[in-house]
């Protein structure tokens, strides 16, 4: 079994294979130009452990489930978050996505009750109600960017379920600010960006304005909750909870960091997953017909979707699972080695950036025959039982596995079913649909689709 040795580097460990460059930036520019193709090529040419340089930093791409498991679980204490999430603190502060232990462990313990199974089940009615509300205002033959529309829908759901707030009126403004953040985040990842941030550049001013928009929204919700009784939502929990170990609660700044992290992550990833799912369904009439038939069976005799419906929609879940295999909302994970380690006999020195890409692993033909094919039927119980745990990991893994995974699965399945019961989404011809890997995997330029009433 492949493992990472976390004691001192063994004398037999050798230098991992990888591309060599005489340029000062190493592979930084090929990576930034097309990271998905770059990482796929590294895996194909050099194998499961690849060494390369990105500017001044040594980097490794690990593409074997055992190595990924060791980084995220077995030897997690040897790593901290990578540069991308270190820099994301500029927006998210010390939230669950960016903080390190012991703060991360404490904050996760305080937020966990909001995502317990019973509470997620209670959110299901709100998810379905918002899907029906959006569906009712659509028109047969209407054309829109499905990625944008799914973002508005999931933003409204997260606002209501987790913060008991109606954010629909502000959704366009919030979405525009988030798009600006996504675009400018690329600049924050540049070497020496800490110095660039100090300059009076237009990009820096746009980033600050976008961040201020989010702060105004979150602090307004905090102030409203402080003046009211416990509403039973996540924000009320964050404001009222006390740490069993210390007896202390969260400051407004800590609540802001957690609320903003969950608000953004809780709608952005699901919106992307749904957009890519509609895109894939539009290209496969057979899969679409099977999905429609299952949804119709679940809704026969006037039944209404609820949390209990999820178990009646196994094929719908398979469709969503397969869509997130091909287009994982989180397309790579990064960790920074804080101890000398090794993987597959290759040395990984302290200070190295370790990348583990869902995009690469989810398209590995060792685990997914015909990897480029959209094939929901592949997700049989037998296939799942035999699949290595980190061959498919859209929600990460280990102690930092996404806290909202159960919420996301419930929401994704119910929204697919609710919307598919009324509509088919037809791809507008002549588009070039490409994934855009930034913080999440968005469709570049959106996806224009035309509604067809069933």
By the 8 A CB rule, do 174 and 155 touch? yes
Please write the tens of the pLDDT for every residue from 218-235.
Answer: 888 888 888 887 777 888
Q: Is residue 158 part of a domain?
A: no
- pTM for the whole structure: 0.89
Structural domain contains residue 61: yes
Q: What digits encode the pLDDT tens for the residues 89-137? A: 777 778 777 788 888 888 888 788 778 888 888 899 999 999 999 999 9
Number of structural domains (the chain) is 1
Strands (E), 126-168: 143-145
List phi, psi (to 5°) of 249: -110, -160
Predicted pLDDT at 25 = 77
pLDDT range class, residue 67, cuts 50, 70, 90: very high
Look up the CATH number of the domain holding residue 44.
3.30.43.20
Q: How many CB atoms lie within 10 A of CB 84?
A: 18
Has residue 326 been placed in a domain? no
Output Rg (C-alpha) for the chain, integer angstroms: 22
Quickly list DSSP for 266-310: HHHHHHHHHHHHHHHHHT-HHHHHHHHHHHHHHTGGG----GGGG
CA dihedral sign of residues 375, 376, 382, 384: positive
Residue 276 lies in a domain: no
Classify the C-alpha dihedral 257-261-262-264 as positive or negative: positive
Domain containing 6 equals: 1-93+332-374
Span of 51-60, 76-85, 426-435 with lowest mean pLDDT: 76-85
* Whole-number Cα distances in Å, 340 to 52, 71, 232, 336: 17, 12, 46, 11
Q: Please provide the average confidence, as pLDDT, over all residues in the chain.
A: 88
Judge whether 82 lies within some domain: yes
Going by the DSSP 8-state scheme, the letter that residue 26 receives in this structure is B
Is residue 170, in this structure, part of any structural domain at all?
Answer: no
Asked if the structure places residue 31 within a domain, the reply is yes
């Amino acid at each position: 079994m492949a493992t990472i040795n976390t004691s001192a580097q063994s004398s037999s460990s050798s230098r991992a294979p990888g591309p060599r460059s005489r340029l000062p930036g190493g592979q930084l520019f090929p990576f930034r130009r097309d990271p998905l193709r770059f990482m796929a090529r590294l895996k194909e040419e050099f194998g499961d452990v690849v060494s390369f340089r990105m500017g001044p930093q040594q980097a490794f791409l690990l593409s074997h489930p055992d190595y990924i498991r060791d980084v995220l679980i077995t030897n997690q204490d040897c790593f901290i978050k990578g540069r991308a999430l270190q820099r994301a603190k500029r927006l998210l502060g010390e939230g669950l996505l960016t903080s390190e232990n012991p703060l991360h462990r404490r904050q996760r313990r305080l937020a966990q009750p909001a995502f317990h199974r019973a509470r997620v089940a209670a959110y299901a009615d709100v998810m379905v109600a918002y899907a029906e509300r959006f569906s009712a205002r659509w028109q047969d033959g209407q054309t829109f960017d499905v990625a944008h529309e799914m973002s508005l829908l999931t933003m409204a759901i997260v606002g209501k379920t987790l913060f008991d707030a109606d954010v629909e009126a502000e959704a366009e403004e919030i979405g525009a600010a988030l798009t600006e953040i996504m675009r400018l985040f690329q600049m924050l990842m540049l070497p020496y960006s800490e110095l660039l941030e100090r300059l009076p550049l237009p990009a820096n001013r746009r980033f600050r304005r976008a961040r201020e928009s989010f702060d105004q929204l979150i602090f307004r919700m905090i102030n409203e909750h402080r003046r009211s009784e416990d509403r039973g939502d996540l924000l009320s929990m964050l404001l009222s909870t006390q740490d069993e170990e210390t007896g202390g609660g969260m400051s407004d700044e800590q609540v802001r960091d957690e609320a903003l992290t969950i608000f953004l992550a809780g709608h952005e990833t699901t919106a992307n997953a749904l957009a890519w799912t509609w895109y894939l369904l539009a290209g496969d009439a057979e899969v679409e017909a099977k999905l429609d038939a299952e949804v119709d069976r679940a809704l026969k005799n006037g039944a209404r979707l609820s949390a209990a419906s999820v178990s009646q929609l196994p094929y719908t879940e398979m469709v969503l699972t397969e869509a997130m295999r091909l287009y994982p909302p989180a397309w790579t994970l990064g960790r920074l080695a804080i101890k000398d380690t090794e993987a597959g006999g290759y040395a990984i020195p302290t200070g190295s950036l370790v990348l583990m890409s869902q995009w690469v692993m989810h398209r590995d033909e060792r685990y997914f025959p015909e990897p480029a094919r959209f094939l929901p039927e592949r997700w049989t119980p037998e296939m799942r039982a035999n699949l290595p745990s980190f061959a498919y990991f859209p929600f990460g893994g280990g102690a930092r596995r996404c806290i909202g995974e159960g919420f996301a699965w419930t929401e994704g399945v119910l929204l697919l079913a609710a919307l598919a019961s009324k509509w088919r989404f037809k791809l507008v011809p002549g588009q070039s649909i490409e994934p855009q890997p930034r913080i999440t995997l968005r469709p570049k330029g959106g996806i224009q689709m035309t509604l067809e009433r069933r």
